[in-house]
Every structure is written in C-alpha cells, then in structure tokens.
C-alpha cells in the first residue's frame, strides 16, 4: 500500500491521535524534512531544530556521509543476527573502542537497552569479581535521574508519571541526591554489596542540571575506594554535545580531537546511544575494559538487532563526522557564545531566571511555577518565530541544537529566542 499523502499538519496530528497510543505530548509541529540544523514542516515552514531529537542529531539532520554509509550497507547486508558473524561489526568495535579508549564494546540498539545491559554487567561483576552474595547487589542512582523507560529503569525513577501503576518495581537500587559526593560516600560505606554507581554527568531530562566541575572525578575516586563500578550514562551528554568528546572529559581545552587530558574521568562502564548514529538509526553501546566486560559470556546477553551491519556502518560514519568536522570543539565554542549572549539578555529579564549548561546542552529556567503553561507558551511562540524547542519539567526549556551550527546561525537563533522572550516580559 502506498502511504497516503499528508496535506496538512492538522491531518497528520489527527491520524496519530486516533490510531496511535497517547504516550507523548508533542509540540504541534509536523516535520517532513531535515537538513543540517534545519527542519521543515508539511506546510513548508522552516525551523531551527533546538532539540536535535534529544541530542541524537548532533551531526545535523540527514548528514550525507552518514546517510551514504547507511544506504550502502543496507543494500549489501542489513541483518545476520549474532548467530553468524558479519564483516562490519568487528571493524566497528575496534574503531569505537580505540575512539573512546576501552578494551571492549557490547552493541545494543536503544539507550534504555544499553542501560539495562550496564546494570546486568555490573551485577554480574559484583557476584563474580567482588564477591557479593547472589541477589544482594545494589546499584546507587541519583534523584531526578533519567535512564530510559523499561520496567527496571523506571523502578528507580522518581518521576511519578514515569512510575505510577507500572509496579511491582525491580529491587536493588538506592537513590542519593545528585552532585553530592558525601551522600555517595555514605551510601558506599553503609553497604558492602554495592556493584555500581549509575550517573548522568549532566542531568539532561531533569532540566540540564550541571553538577560541580569536580563531581565526576570525586565520584569516581569514591567508587574506586570502595571497589564500586563508576557507570556513566552519556547517552545524552556524550559524543561532542557538551564540548568534550564525553561530558566526563570535563572542561577540556584540547584543540585537537579529544585526547585523554588531565580532566578526563574514565568510567568503568560507559553507556552511549543517541548521537552514536547521528540520529539515523537506533544504535547504542556499552563500553568497558576486559576485567568488567569479560563477565558476560555466550548466552548471557544479546539482541537480534544489536551489532547489525547497518548499525555498525552508521556508527563508524557518525563518529567520523564528529572528528572530521571538529564538532566537539564547535560545541564548546558555540556553547560559550550562546550562554554569554543569553546572560546579556537575562540580566535585564524578568521572565528568565538563568541559563545553565555546558557546550551545546543548555537550558533556561523560566520565572514562573512548574505548573504554569508559560514555558509551553514560549515554545509555541518560538515555533511561530521559526525555532523548535520543548519544555522539560514545566518551567525549564532545553536548548540543544545540532553541533554543526555556525556562529552566524547561532546569533540568528539567539535573536529569535530573545525577541520571543520579550513578548513574555512582565
Ligand atoms: C534518552 C536517554 C536514555 C534512553 O534512551 P532511549 O534510546 O530513549 O531508550 C537513557 N539515558 C539518558 C541520559 C537519555 O538521555
């Protein structure tokens, strides 16, 4: 059956409403095309994309190199399952492990699956290497975390919408406050059965909460002291987004592609997704060194699509683009400029309290209650003015454009944002 042609946004929204589950509340923009930092709706209106599919599209929409790699591989061999080998997976694993500095990679598809994988590895490591008694392993997580939507992952969320009526919940998780090394140390001291500390280097969904500069290193040191795995969920923050190859790279100042500089805090388990494919295909991965990864043996974990040749080819191309186009460096530069220009505005503003973030992962906090519709209304007005962004947690608006943004485009975007905000000043 040929797909019926959609003639208006209204028509497309109605179809979704009638035939699709209502598990999202999207802004009413119906997009039909994307290129670089721009997307177009079915009426032909052009927008700057300031969400980048939650930081999956770091390399920009429909990057020709990534799309080319995907086409080429898809027309040659798309899926073998892991019952057999394919001639792309090993090369991808070699490339990606060297790129990020780990011994081994376990390929999955979505972010939540990769988080589940990391949890399984950490638990198994605790039983087989640390000597924790079976079924007693504990994983420490942070309040207001976001790690995905599976049953186990929502078991340790404190977002009521994400959790309510999905129980019984998976046990084995303890929550501590974010950005609180003392709380982490107390939790590890109190419980010898802790397998890992699972943490976002910046809490994206929670509203781009950016911890103290030394939080990652302190957390890692505490984990090392108590023989606990430091597990970094860099699904949103990783791959150039925050101005380092990873957010655990901290405030790197290297001008070349992210080398292992002094400020780098190496996780024991690194979780990647989203921009690992530039948003072209679901590709996620867990990386670790041998002493951790080797606890997983045949039959103990897997996925039919994980490590498929298309995913492998797409991921290599996506990582190439980050390096070749120096997108990490651009994110750092453009991010600094963005926060400086926004700060200039905010100083005189009643409607915005602050801008925070790192690289091109930023958010503004609106001066109104989280229950108000002000942030939503601002996003609707931004849409009218040609820029797409989405509120998170009521009164926070996240700004995360593709990293291919030029300075001229960024200044244009700041003008759109500030002139829109002016309409809302009290
Ligand atoms: C998006 C995200 C996930 C979940 O990824 P999915 O691909 O949506 O399953 C997990 N952790 C973080 C930090 C994320 O931003």
Asked if 274 is an active-site residue, the reply is yes
- Nearest-CA residue for atom 15 of ligand 1: 236
User: Is residue 240 within 6 Å of ligand 1 at its C-beta?
Assistant: no
Q: How confident is the model at residue 390 (pLDDT cuts 50, 70, 90)?
A: very high
DSSP string, 307-339: T-HHHHHHHHHHHHHHHHTTHHHHHHHHHHHHH
Q: Tell me the percentage of the chain whose pLDDT exceeds 90.
A: 93
User: How many other C-beta atoms are found inside a 10 Å radius of the C-beta of residue 237?
Assistant: 28
pTM (2 d.p.): 0.97
User: Is residue 112 within 6 Å of ligand 1 at its C-beta?
Assistant: yes
User: Is residue 185 within 6 Å of ligand 1 at its C-beta?
Assistant: no
What tens digit of pLDDT does each residue of 327-384 get? 999 999 999 999 999 999 999 999 999 999 999 999 999 999 999 999 999 999 999 9
Our mutation pick for probing the ligand 1 site, out of 235, 239, 246, 269, counting the most ligand atoms within 8 A of Cβ, is 235
Ramachandran class of 326: left when φ > 0, alpha when ψ lies in -120 to 50, beta otherwise = left
Our mutation pick for probing the ligand 1 site, out of 119, 146, 283, counting the most ligand atoms within 8 A of Cβ, is 146
User: Which atom belonging to ligand 1 lies closest to the Cα atom of 145?
Assistant: 13
Average pLDDT along the chain:
95
pLDDT at 249: 82
Domains, the chain, ranges and CATH? 9-59+327-422 (3.90.1150.10), 64-324 (3.40.640.10)
Residue holding tokens 């042609």? Answer: 5
User: Is residue 200 within 6 Å of ligand 1 at its C-beta?
Assistant: yes
Among candidate residues 49, 180, 233, 368, the one labeled active-site is 233
Our mutation pick for probing the ligand 1 site, out of 162, 236, 248, counting the most ligand atoms within 8 A of Cβ, is 236
What is residue 373's three-state secondary structure? Answer: coil
Among candidate residues 146, 173, 215, 399, the one labeled active-site is 146
What is residue 102's three-state secondary structure? Answer: coil
The Cα–Cα gap between 155 and 54 comes to 22
User: Is residue 115 within 6 Å of ligand 1 at its C-beta?
Assistant: yes
User: Is residue 208 within 6 Å of ligand 1 at its C-beta?
Assistant: no
Our mutation pick for probing the ligand 1 site, out of 116, 149, 232, 273, counting the most ligand atoms within 8 A of Cβ, is 273
pLDDT at 340: 98
Among candidate residues 274, 305, 383, 424, the one labeled active-site is 274
What is the three-state SS of 237-291? CCCCCCCCCCHHHCCCCCCCCCCCCCCCCCCCEEEECHHHHCCCCCCEEEEECHH
What tens digit of pLDDT does each residue of 220-236 get? 999 999 999 999 999 99
pLDDT at 195: 98
Q: Which helix (H) or strand (E) holds 340?
A: helix 327-346
pLDDT at 257: 47
Mean pLDDT score, 12-40: 97
pLDDT at 256: 44
User: Is residue 54 within 6 Å of ligand 1 at its C-beta?
Assistant: yes
What tens digit of pLDDT does each residue of 367-378 get? 999 999 999 999
239, two tokens: 């791959």
User: Is residue 110 within 6 Å of ligand 1 at its C-beta?
Assistant: yes
User: Is residue 250 within 6 Å of ligand 1 at its C-beta?
Assistant: no
Asked if 233 is an active-site residue, the reply is yes
- Nearest-CA residue for atom 7 of ligand 1: 111
**Chain centroid offset of residue 344 CA:** 28
What tens digit of pLDDT does each residue of 58-94 get? 999 999 999 999 999 999 999 999 999 999 999 999 9
160, two tokens: 């009521």
- Nearest-CA residue for atom 5 of ligand 1: 111
């Amino acid at each position: 059956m040929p797909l019926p042609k959609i003639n208006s946004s209204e028509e497309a929204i109605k179809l979704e409403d009638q035939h699709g589950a209502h598990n999202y509340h999207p802004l009413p923009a119906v997009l039909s095309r994307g290129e670089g930092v721009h997307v177009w709706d079915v009426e032909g209106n052009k927008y700057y994309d300031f969400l980048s599919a939650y930081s999956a599209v770091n390399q920009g929409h429909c990057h020709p190199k990534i799309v080319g790699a995907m086409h080429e591989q898809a027309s040659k061999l798309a899926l073998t399952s892991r019952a057999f080998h394919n001639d792309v997976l090993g090369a991808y694993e070699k490339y990606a492990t060297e790129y990020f500095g780990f011994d081994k990679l376990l390929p999955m598809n979505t972010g939540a699956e990769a988080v589940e994988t990391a949890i399984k590895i950490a638990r198994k490591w605790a039983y087989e290497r640390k000597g924790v008694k079976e079924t007693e392993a504990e994983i420490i997580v942070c309040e207001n975390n976001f790690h995905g939507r599976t049953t186990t992952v929502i078991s340790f969320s404190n977002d009521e919408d994400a959790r309510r009526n999905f129980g019984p919940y998976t046990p084995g998780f303890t929550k501590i406050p974010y950005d609180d090394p003392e709380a982490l140390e107390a939790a590890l001291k109190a419980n010898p059965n802790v397998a890992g500390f699972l943490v976002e280097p910046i809490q994206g969904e929670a509203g781009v909460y950016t911890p103290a500069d030394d939080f990652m290193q302190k957390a890692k040191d505490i984990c090392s002291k108590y023989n606990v795995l430091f597990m970094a969920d860099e699904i949103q923050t990783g791959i150039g987004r925050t101005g380092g190859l990873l957010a655990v790279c901290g405030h790197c100042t290297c001008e070349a592609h992210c080398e292992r500089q002094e400020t780098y805090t190496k996780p024991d388990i690194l979780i990647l997704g989203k921009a690992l494919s530039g948003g072209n295909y679901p590709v996620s991965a867990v990386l670790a060194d041998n002493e951790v990864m080797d606890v997983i043996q045949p039959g103990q974990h897997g996925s039919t699509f994980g490590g498929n040749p298309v995913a492998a080819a797409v991921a290599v191309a996506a990582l190439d683009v980050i390096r070749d186009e120096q997108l990490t460096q651009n994110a750092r530069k453009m991010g600094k400029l963005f926060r400086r220009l926004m700060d200039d505005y905010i100083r005189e503003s009643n409607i915005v309290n602050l801008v925070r973030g790192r690289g091109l992962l930023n958010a503004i906090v609106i001066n109104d209650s989280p229950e108000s519709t002000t942030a939503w209304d601002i996003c609707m007005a931004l849409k009218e003015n040609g820029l797409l962004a989405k509120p998170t947690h009521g009164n926070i608006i996240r700004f995360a454009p593709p990293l291919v943004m030029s300075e001229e485009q960024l200044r244009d975007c700041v003008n759109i944002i500030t002139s829109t905000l002016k309409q809302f000043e009290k």
